[in-house]
Amino acid sequence: LNICALSSGSSGNAICIGSDRTKILVDAGISAREIGRRLMEIGVKPNELAGIVITHEHTDHVRGLRVLATRLDIPVYSTEETWYHLEDCRIPIHLQRVIEHHQHFLIGDLGIEAFPVPHDAVDPLGFKIYNQNTSLGIVTDLGHVPGYLLDRLGDVELIYLESNHDVDMVMAGSYPAFLKRRILGQRGHLSNDTAADFLAMLTERCLKQIVLGHLSKNNNTPQLALASVKSRLKGIGCNVGTDVDIQCCCHGELGIIHSV
Ligand SMILES: [Zn+2]
Ligand SMILES: [Zn+2]
Tell me the pLDDT of the chain (260 aa) as tens digits.
999 999 999 999 999 999 999 999 999 999 999 999 999 999 999 999 999 999 999 999 999 999 999 999 999 999 999 999 998 888 999 999 999 999 999 999 999 999 999 999 999 999 999 999 999 999 999 999 999 999 999 999 999 999 999 999 999 999 999 999 999 999 999 999 999 999 999 999 999 999 999 999 999 999 999 999 999 999 999 999 999 999 999 999 999 999 99
The CA 242 to ligand 2 mean position distance, Å, reads 31
C-alpha to C-alpha distance for 216 and 204, rounded to whole angstroms: 27
Q: Considering every ligand atom, which ligand is closest to the CA of 58?
A: 1
Q: Which amino acid, residue 243?
A: D
The CA 137 to ligand 1 mean position distance, Å, reads 17
pTM for the model stands at 0.97
Q: Considering every ligand atom, which ligand is closest to the CA of 26?
A: 2
The CA 243 to ligand 1 mean position distance, Å, reads 31
C-alpha to C-alpha distance for 124 and 254, rounded to whole angstroms: 24
The CA 192 to ligand 1 mean position distance, Å, reads 17
The CA 200 to ligand 1 mean position distance, Å, reads 24
As residues whose CB is below 5 A from the ion ligand 2, the structure lists: 60, 141
Q: Where are the beta strands (DSSP E) in 174-242?
A: 209-213
Whole-Å CA distances, 219 to 145, 198, 214: 20, 20, 11
Give, in degrees to the nearest 5, the angle at Cα 143 between 137 and 149.
Answer: 35
Contact 149, 140 (CB under 8 A): no
Buried b (16+ CB within 10 A) or exposed e, 217-251: eebbbeebbbebbbebbeeeebebeeebebbbbbb
Contact 44, 18 (CB under 8 A): yes
Contact 79, 85 (CB under 8 A): no
228 SS3 class? helix
| pLDDT for the residue numbered 88 | 82
C-alpha to C-alpha distance for 172 and 35, rounded to whole angstroms: 35
The CA 249 to ligand 1 mean position distance, Å, reads 17
C-alpha to C-alpha distance for 51 and 22, rounded to whole angstroms: 9
Enumerate the β-bridge partners of residue 245: 209
The CA 236 to ligand 1 mean position distance, Å, reads 31
Task: Give the residue among 1, 108, 17, 93 at the shortest CA–CA distance from 55.
Answer: 17
